[in-house]
Structure 1
Amino acid sequence: MDINVSRRALLGSGVGIGAGLVVGTPAAAATTRPAVAVVGCTVIDATGAPPRPGMTVVARGDRITALGPSRTVKVPDDAAVVDGRRRFVIPGLTDMHVHSSGIDTIDPPLFLANGVTTVREMSGYPTLHEWRQRVTDGTLFGPRSVIASPLIDGSPSLWTGLGAPYVEVADAAQARAAVRQVAADGADFVKVYSRLSRESFTAIAQESHRLGLEFAGHCPDDVPVTVASDLGQRSFEHVFTSWYATSRHEDEIRRVLSELTVEAGDYNGWLHRVHPLELAAARGYDPQRAARVFGRLRANDSHQTPTLVMHRVLDLPGTVDQDDPRLRYIPAEVRAVWDFAMQEIYLDGRTPQEAVEHQELFGHRGRFVGALHRAGVPLLAGTDTGTSYVYPGFSLHDELELLVRAGVPALRALQAATRDAARFLGLGSGTVRQGAPADLVVLDADPLADIRNTRHIHAVVVRGELITPERRDAMLAAVAAAAATATPVPARIGCRC
């Protein structure tokens, strides 16, 4: 089974630009690194326990070795001490839906400077596996990562010629072969996509189970979300087709979907065809049907990654600030790809009436996420970084704010980016406790009082390595310098994928 990568995706090597790279300490030296102690802080441990003031957290190597009231915890003589008084410590953050650009001087330091110590990469580029090995070796200072397969889509694929690595399958046999191929290539999980037939999707589910792989991604047009959940899909990305099953118009929507045809690579055409179906589903939202759907998802432990920050850009393009100071960290070549995607994929052919309808849809997306939370469906915080004007690292804080606006309490939003994300990925507790991974964010203000305070970062601890305020400023300055000179780039067409 061939994995397809378009010509656009090969404009750069994918290895990135090494000049000015801020590297971390090699893993072998982690245990000899000085300890880090955050003294006198308030710990918000993400377990659900109340905040604990007057605490000291000590990390040595890649683990938290001590945690307790400052009066009882001895600070090691060799420790780098962070003054935690009037500051708040939370676990390192996880972005559960990213598409890194392939430029190692941009994405990795931006994630870390924003307290994002773990990412779930949703595209299966070989470069991402190279990055992970370099992080392990200590030659690249970046977040730990879990990496998807190339997306597996139906035939014809929406992604033909648009830049993402994908596998196109037309039947169950090809679907099973695709799963075997991506497993052999080292994918951590299987990424499923929108145009898979129910037959192919079922085959992917069965073959993934046989090989011990999880699968996640879009809910295919041809597969009701409840069926996908029952078959074992671990997470559903974005907020669009997942809500068809909550609408009293579902039967008619399913009929239209069954007749829907899309040409290869016609992502724009697909968006236009599903738009009225999304709108009908939203306007036909039925709380009783939703309660049954949400109950199935909850019972199956199926998670939802809303990526509201991505939906805001695409539903409300007028909210994009062309003078956003974060653009200093984005190479001109990447921004050109973003602008191409916005105009040619998302906005081309959008009528004034559709623009108004997208405003309505974005409002429903928030209400839908609030209903998911109240029903107990587990949420994950992800951004779809790589989509136009969704920024590495920075946009996770936007996502947390949007989750809270949708009705998710601040603590639960924080847990969606810490404890719950870590549990989902099998990467430790995602909490601040003795023995947990030494990934911490030190904040200057209380995120439970105002979730926007997660942006007020004083320091970050990554696998026991301290990023001081001065080092963080230097990292951001180095990214800005790299963005001003980075060329060529491995261009990807940014899509909600």
Structure 2
Amino acid sequence: MKSANYLVFFMSLLIFSFLKPVKGYSQKQTTYVIKNVNVITMTSSNAIINNATVIVSENRIESINGRIPKNAKIIDGKGKWLIPGLIDAHVHLPTDAYFGQKFATQKPDLTFNAQDVMTPIIANGVTTVLDLDSKMETFGQKKAIEKGYVIGPRIALAALINGGNGQGRIANTAEEGRLMVKNAKFEGYDFIKVYSKLNMETYNAIIDEANKQGLKTIGHIPNAFQGKLEQAFIPHFGMVAHAEEFSKNSVSFSEQDAVKFAKLSKDNDTWLSPTLTTMLWIAKQTHSVDSIKNLSSLKYVHPLLQSKWLTANNYVKNSSPENVTYFDNMVKFHFQLVKAFKDAGVPIVAGTDAGVSGVVAGFSLHDELELLVQAGLTPQEALNSATLLSAQWLGIEKQIGSIEIGKFADLILLEDNPFTDIKNTRKIAGVFVNGNWLDKKKLNGMLTDLANRNTAEKDKFDWKIFINNRK
């Protein structure tokens, strides 16, 4: 770890010592009882427990249909459905270093309020995220949540390693790749993300070293494997982070290619997180920027990012009839891919690539679940992709991912059954975040406050002025 990174980390700890927990969010846990609720356990047996009593104490699920403790807070679950908290296995959390290393040595003139970043996530019942390009500031966000200063999800951290001449963690030899992995392990990262500009030798070394260090690997299929896709599927390449990584290796977008790609993944035990919503949003923006202007959740995005999405949108800028057709066809092919991967028995994990223009964290996971169902998954399979299956890939299925006694109380209370209609995951009556109850009124209030502040501050942020001032 570089000395500058140490400084950022320890300064974060110093700042936390002066912060106070969020109002209405108690670190001293209350015992809750959800009465007469239908429990979708999402266990391997797929059990549903009707008209159950679920007791939550000290941020854990204490019992199901056990004795109700005295002085417990009662939540009426009659006619409602309880599911595990959702997991988004592909996000990019905005941090103060969000705009890259180019600005790292300049005096910062922008900070992201951590609670504002997390509010849309937890308001949508997303209680765990995998951040796929974590910075030291992301460690700070994670610590703030753990201390109770911010209401937010559990955060798993991935270190991104790329090749070429860019900024950040760059490795262009096998030795450099192994060193980057060892450094990431030492710094406390949970996963390694491989990226597009790695050469073959370095890519192979990174995956091998990550396995030796006990770290799973997720990411892109480097461009060096174009025309040699089979060579990218080596032991311990754990998950492909986008369906696009396959479609960019297809000329015809044929069903035959989809089946071939699925077999490659199945034979190598490589999972898929297709991020269908990302490519759908990219395609929309090649048609018109109005897709962003009319986005109902845009008001929950930081005003500077709103400005960037609307005025410096490369998908809009580089749009052409050819691009429109290409991306529309890619969207269709991704649906074919998901169907082929399902038929081949490849595990499919829900991720959104939240942070891409149009892909709003929290809201986007519900979009992804609906798209997975459109692509051929059952509602139960789609929900599994964002609960137990994701927890299993993250290696934390003993703590979260299903509703079982002893697991963390990361839970969502729904008005209707998501197995009947996956859109019902949006009908949230309340969320348990690490055992703390946030009802619909509280969640809506948090979202309203965020939208009002963003609207009030919109005139202060202009992407083009911001960039010009940074040059």
Q: TM above 0.5, one fold?
A: yes
Read off the aligned partner of 1:121 and give its amino acid letter: D
Deviations 1:323-359 (A, max 9, x none): 333122122211122235533xx34433202312221
> Once the 2 structures are TM-superposed, how far is the Cα of residue 459 of structure 1 from its aligned partner?
0.7
For structure 2, the residue ranges without an aligned partner over 5 or more in a row are 6-11, 96-111
* 8 A contact 1:36–1:60 mirrored in 2: yes
Listed one character per residue, the Cα deviations across residues 398-419 of structure 1 (whole Å, up to 9, x for unaligned) are 0000000000111011011100
Q: Which residue of 2 aligns with 1:100?
A: 93
CA 1:290–1:208 in structure 2 vs 1: closer, same or farther (change >3 Å)? closer
* 1:58 matched to 2:55: yes
CA distance in 2, matches of 1:418, 1:367: 23
2:324 maps to 355
Partner SS for 1:90: strand
What residue in structure 2 maps to residue 265 of structure 1?
none
Cα distance change, pair 233–291 in 1 and its aligned pair in 2 (3 A): closer
Q: CA deviation at 1:155?
A: 0.8
Q: Under a length normalisation based on structure 1, what TM-score does the superposition of the two structures give?
A: 0.79
Which of 262, 285, 294 is the matching residue for 2:256?
Answer: 285
Q: What is the CA deviation profile of residues 105-150 of structure 1, one whole-angstrom value per residue up to 9, with x for unaligned ones?
A: 322121111101111011121111011111111111111110111x
1:423·1:429 contact (CA, 8 Å) conserved in 2?
no
- Of 280-289 and 95-104, deviating more is 280-289
TM-score, scaled to structure 2: 0.84
Alpha-carbon distance between aligned partners in 2 of 1:363 and 1:19, rounded to the nearest angstrom: 48
Percent of counterpart pairs with the same letter?
A: 29
Q: Are 2:38 and 2:80, in contact at CA under 8 Å, matched by a contact in 1?
A: yes
Report if the CA contact (8 A) 1:63-1:437 is conserved.
yes
Q: Does 1:152 align with 2:161?
A: yes
Could you list the per-position Cα deviations for residues 23-75 of structure 1 after superposition, in whole angstroms to 9, with x for gaps in the alignment? 7333xx3xxx221111111111112524322111111012101113xxxx332
Provide the residue aligned with 1:250 in structure 2. none
SS across alignment from 1:396: helix
Label 1:287 to 1:204 Cα distance change in 2 as closer, same or farther (>3 A): closer
Query: Residue 106 of structure 1: SS of its match in structure 2?
Result: helix
Shift of the 429–139 alpha-carbon distance from structure 1 to 2, 3 Å rule, reads closer
1:378–1:171 distance in 2 versus 1, CA, 3 Å? same
- Partner Cα distance (1:193, 1:469) in 2: 39
Match of 2:388? 419
User: Quick one: which of 396, 399, 412 aligns to 1:441?
Assistant: 412
Counterpart of 1:202 in structure 2: which amino acid? N
2:281 to 313, 317, 329: 313
1-side partners of 2:387 and 2:381: how far apart? 10
RMSD: 3.0
For 1:141, what is the secondary structure of its paired residue?
A: coil
SS at match of 1:467: strand
1:391-430 equivalences under 5 Å are 391-427=360-396, 428-430=399-401
Shift of 1:171: 1.8
- Corresponding residue for 2:36? 40
**2:108 alignment partner in structure 1:** none
1:111 maps to what in 2?
A: 121
Q: CA deviation at 1:183?
A: 2.3
Listed one character per residue, the Cα deviations across residues 82-123 of structure 1 (whole Å, up to 9, x for unaligned) are 111111100000111111122313221211111011110111
- Cα distance between partner residues in 1 of 2:23 and 2:164: 42
Which structure carries more relative contact order (alpha carbon 8 Å, separation 6+)? 1
The one-letter amino acid paired with 1:93 is L
Give secondary structure in 2 for the equivalent of 1:316. helix
Please, which runs of 5 or more residues in structure 1 have no aligned partner?
A: 6-12, 161-165, 244-273
Q: Identify which of 74, 86, 104 aligns with 1:81.
A: 74
Partners of 2:295 and 2:411 in 1: CA distance: 27
Of 295, 310, 324 in structure 1, the residue corresponding to residue 266 of structure 2 is 295
State yes or no: 1:369 paired with 2:338: yes
From 227, 241, 246, the counterpart of 2:245: 241
Q: 1:479 and 2:450 equivalent?
A: yes
Instruction: Tell whether 2:174 aligns with 1:205.
Output: no
Question: Partner of 1:193 in structure 2?
Answer: 195
